[in-house]
Amino acid sequence: MSAGNQILVVGSVALDSVRTPYGEAVEALGGSASYFALAASHFAPVRVVAVVGEDFPAEHRRLFESRGIDLSGLETAPGRTFRWRGEYAAELGHAHTLETQLNVFSTFHPHLEDEHRACPFVFLANIDPDLQLEVLAQMRKPRLSLSDTMNYWIARKPDRVLEVLRQVDVALLNEEEARALAGETLLIRAADRLLEQGARAVIVKKGEHGAIFRSREERFMTPAYPVESLRDPTGAGDSFAGGFLGWLARCGRADGDMLQQAMVCGTTTASLAIEDFSPRRLVETDRTEIAARVALLHRMIHFDLEPID
């Protein structure tokens, strides 16, 4: 595995039980690192650092390996794998958590080997911000770092979440998280406030309404891909992150044009993830389907501007 465009993801690998109005899945592969890795693997090689229990199914390991995902950092600890059980109402906007069993994940502290520290791209999934900072302290100056968070950590450790934002290149938040952390209702103002607090760049995910990118130099937005079959929104944000960082790792650039295409790749992989339970669509898809969706989104948002007199 060449080190030039490798991506390191540190997060959760879990077993999810999810119910939506369109069906359910029981103890299916889940977790932030799983969705991210399977999305990003369509663009660049991925290494996973996470922990599972002795009960983690061998078939899931084989699935990761079939996508060329490196599992040398996937620790197997005595005990049971992290489990999450939730359900979505008809609007599919937010998950209602029914049960969380942290199990071996409760004592997880990421330890990076030399090959992990050398990865030029890193995604810090929505784990404890103290753990995210532990990972950053072990890295060897990555070319681009991306973080995610969740309301749980914003409510309990807002200062540490902000410290992570100050240390990474791009911070990923959804609408509620951006408003809560910034203390602003208007999303554009919330993004600007996070930049004022030290973030280098932020992406605010708006679900079916797309996403906003804000930095001191770049400001743009992209719509969501118009899916016709939405079955399970679990993992959409992590899949977005996988497409976004995967494209930047593949092309080796992070300027304006490439950032915009990375946003489109992110919305594309997110659109695939939500079309079925677990990361099934991310496994079944290929570069041809991804490219077709990216091209459609480009046609939707591109036009030649005529002067307005």
CATH of the domain at 280: 3.40.1190.20
Q: Is residue 228 part of a domain?
A: yes
Identify whether 309 is part of a domain. Answer: no
Give burial (CB, 10 Å; 0-12/13-18/19+) of 61.
middle
Q: Does the pLDDT at position 1 exceed 60?
A: no
pLDDT in tens, 258-296: 999 999 999 999 999 999 999 999 999 999 999 999 999
How crowded is residue 137: how many other Cβ atoms within 10 Å of its Cβ?
A: 9
Strands 170-174 and 144-148: parallel
Calculate what percentage of the chain has a pLDDT beyond 90: 88
Full-model pTM: 0.96
Lowest mean pLDDT among 105-109, 205-209, 215-219, 303-307: 303-307
Instruction: Encode 19-53: b = buried (16+ Cβ within 10 Å), e = exposed.
Output: bbeeeebeebbbbbbbbbbbbbbbbbbbbbbbbbb
> What pLDDT sits at residue 229?
86
Measure CA 285 to chain center: 18
The model's confidence at residue 300, banded by pLDDT at 50, 70 and 90, is confident
Q: What are phi and psi of 145, to 5 degrees?
A: -120, 140
Q: Residue 257: what pLDDT?
A: 85
Range of the domain at 79: 7-301
Q: What is the pLDDT of residue 306?
A: 76
- pLDDT the model gives residue 305: 67
At 154 the pLDDT is 97
Q: In 3-state terms, what secondary structure has residue 265?
A: helix
Structure tokens at 196: 């004022």
Place of tokens 């070319």: 143
| Per-residue pLDDT, 308 | 79
DSSP type of residue 271: H
Rounded distance between C-alpha atoms, residue 258 and residue 270, angstroms: 18
Residue 203 lies in a domain: yes
Residue 243 token pair:
């497409």
pLDDT of residue 211: 96
Is 257 part of a structural domain of the chain?
A: yes
Query: What pLDDT score does 254 carry?
Result: 85
Mean pLDDT for the chain overall: 94
Provide the 8-state DSSP code for 53: E
Kind and range of the H or E element at 220?
strand 219-222
Contact 249, 131 (CB under 8 A): no
In this predicted structure, the answer to whether residue 145 has a pLDDT above a threshold of 70 is yes
Residues in the chain: 309
pLDDT tier at 95 (50, 70, 90 boundaries)? confident
Residue 43 inside a domain? The answer is yes
How many domains does the chain divide into? 1
Residue 307 lies in a domain: no
Q: Mean per-residue pLDDT for 181-190?
A: 96
Q: Are 121 and 143 in contact (CB under 8 A)?
A: yes
- For residue 184, tell me if it sits in a domain: yes
CB-based contacts of 31-35 (< 8 A; 24+ apart in sequence): 31/82, 32/125, 32/126, 32/127, 32/148, 32/235, 32/238, 33/9, 33/125, 33/238, 34/60, 34/64, 34/235, 34/238, 34/279, 35/234, 35/235, 35/238, 35/239, 35/242, 35/273, 35/279, 35/282
Q: Is residue 308 part of a domain?
A: no
What does the pLDDT look like over 167-176, one tens digit per residue? 999 999 999 9
pLDDT 10s digits, 44-88: 999 999 999 999 999 999 999 999 999 999 999 999 999 999 999
CA torsion, ordered 51, 52, 53, 56, to nearest 10 deg: -160
Three-class DSSP labels, 1-39: CCCCCCEEEECCCEEEEEEECCEEEEEEEECHHHHHHHH
What average pLDDT does range 252-261 have in this prediction? 87
Q: Which of 1-5, 247-251, 256-260, 279-283 has the lowest mean pLDDT?
A: 1-5
Cα separation, 261 vs 280, in Å, equals: 24
